[in-house]
Amino acid sequence: MLEKTALVFQSLFAPRKTYQRIKAKPELDASLLLAVLLGISLVFSRLINPELKVLLKILLLAGSIILTVISLILFAYLINTVSNFFKKGDVSNSLRLAIPYAFLPSIIVNFLWFAVPIQLYLFVQLGATLWFLILLSTLVSELKKLDFVRSFLSVFAASVILSLPVIAYQIGLPLMAKD
């Protein structure tokens, strides 16, 4: 267990080496645990709210974990599809296991939201997002054997495509409110 924990934190600074160690010893893989932690971290601020009923907290927790795992699978297929423009090859199964390691900075930031002042939190969140993009680009370049720029473009394009419903909602909501 200690080796698995050390490997998770090693993935923050050496994602290629981490992926190669996990590939050699699959029992060290903690991607499902990280996916569950990501789901919990996304709703953590609501879970610690004492005004929320217990049943609602349980439903919120279960829904966030299930939807996070499904979203990670879809995100892996989307990144694989976008990166196929640069180099053919199906690595979506390997990507599905590698993506949660890239979300580790976001998980840490989501759990620390109450400890950081709100003015600083946006910068910390931006840093975690950039770190996520760099880590995931490194993993994609390792899996697809692409150069870093092409893998970064693939990851960035897949992230934008995945965010399109939210972007459309944020733009469309103020426009609908004017009517």
Using a cut of 0.95, tell me whether the model's pTM lies above it.
no
Residues 6+ apart with CB under 8 A from 101: 8, 11, 15, 18, 19, 31, 34, 135, 139
- Domain membership of residue 129 as a residue range: 2-177
Within 8 A by CB and 6+ apart from 110, the residues are 38, 41, 42, 44
- Say how far apart CA 128 and CA 131 lie, in whole Å: 5
| pLDDT, tens digit (0-9, with 9 covering 90-100), for 17-70 | 888 888 888 888 888 888 899 999 888 888 888 888 999 999 999 999 999 999
Counted domains in the chain: 1
**pLDDT (tens digit per residue) in 107-163:** 888 888 778 888 888 899 899 999 999 999 998 888 888 889 999 999 999 999 988
Sign of the alpha-carbon torsion through 159, 164, 166, 170:
positive
Q: Are the C-beta atoms of 74 and 101 separated by less than 8 Å?
A: no
